[in-house]
Amino acid sequence: MTNFDTIINRKGTGCFKYDGLQMMYQKEELLPLWVADMDFAVSEAIQRALAKRLQHPIFGYNFRTSDFSAAIEHWQKSQYDWDISAYKIVTTPSLMTALAICVLSLTDQGDKILIQTPVYPPFHAIVKEHSRQLLKNPLINKDGKYEIDWEDFAEKAAQAKLFVLCNPHNPVGKVFSPAELQRMSEICTQNDVLIFSDEIHADIVYPPLKHHSIASIQSSGVITGVSPAKSFNLAGLATAIMIIKDEALFQKVNELNNSMHTFMGNTFGITALIAAYTESADWLKALKAYLQENRDLLANYLAKELPRVKMSPCEGTYLAWLDFRDYALSDEELMSVMRDQAGLALNAGNTFGDEGSGFMRLNFACPRSVLQKALAKIKAAMETV
């Protein structure tokens, strides 16, 4: 079983998190707790499956055999008791490709698309880059815990063509409850709003909470985006999927995916997905236990040593949403304290929307000793403010 305490040097592998530091932060020697991937080796089952595939020295065109969809069905059923045997699967290189395909195939220029801010920056960018209009339903921060502004949601849904849900939510760490999903789903149905549900973080939900797909509540009009990229650390293998029930919706999305040739599969991505979903459930369990301890260590450290920094309850994802507003620093000053004083690369909160001003996102999917080092650096830096 993977030892999550092991520090693996990723520098020089062309990974964004380490090798992109100079480009993004104009500094190379930073402790990087930004990009949402993990500093852990993938499961042994995935390593074995990839090594086996590598032994065959031809990497020509492939298609996805029935093992691929069977693995996805098995995962959804065994982890979430969601039976998708009657659903269609559309494969794309990434979930953001999937979102772009849905925006292009299901909406027209000028149409309004609803998102819940602060949220993952490409949600904003994809809508704007394709000349659609952004409608924002800002989540309400109640003492660090985020809630839906239902009145505003209903008002915006009445104007929207598509709602892009992020569940679990990046960056605020919220896991939407069945009751919340039900209510969102009812409002969307009443207003003929389609739903793209980004569930890329679904496998990282901490007990006692459980992940529920909005499509398991209302299957019609929903495109569910999932992938093993986050939970099994496979983002570089470019394999994401959309799960769709309605035939008409599937036809539209599939047609554009085919005409863009974004359906093409990656040999290693296919192999890794199958090994993740059929042989790596125990590894995921161990990972989640480790991440939960990191999360708790982080929350306890802040409460004790840095009580002016408030961490939102992280119900899912390995991303902590930290509120530094008590220090009354500008976003530039806060970034400078983290980068130049603490020597850390964190994500600036305002990149997730205006509501994120004064916040930072910290990725705690790293060996515990690295997290401890980072926390000591934050404490020392904040003492200079």
Ligand X SMILES: Cc1ncc(COP(=O)(O)O)c(C=O)c1O
Which residues contact ligand X by CB under 6 A? 36, 94-96, 120, 166, 170, 198, 200, 227, 229, 235, 240
**Closest separation between CB of residue 100 and ligand X, Å?**
9
Closer of 102 and 240 to ligand X (Cβ): 240
Closer of 228 and 382 to ligand X (Cβ): 228
Closer of 227 and 271 to ligand X (Cβ): 227
**Closest separation between CB of residue 224 and ligand X, Å?**
12
**Closest separation between CB of residue 211 and ligand X, Å?**
13
30 contacts 336 by C-beta, under 8 angstroms:
no
**Closest separation between CB of residue 34 and ligand X, Å?**
10
**Closest separation between CB of residue 63 and ligand X, Å?**
21
Nearest in space to 345 (alpha carbons), one of 114, 16, 86, 2: 16
Closer of 121 and 138 to ligand X (Cβ): 121
**Closest separation between CB of residue 336 and ligand X, Å?**
24
Closer of 197 and 254 to ligand X (Cβ): 197
Please classify residue 151 by burial: count the beta carbons closer than 10 Å to its beta carbon, then call 0-12 exposed, 13-18 middle and 19+ buried: exposed
**Closest separation between CB of residue 172 and ligand X, Å?**
11
Closer of 82 and 123 to ligand X (Cβ): 123
Closer of 141 and 227 to ligand X (Cβ): 227
**Closest separation between CB of residue 229 and ligand X, Å?**
5
Closer of 96 and 378 to ligand X (Cβ): 96
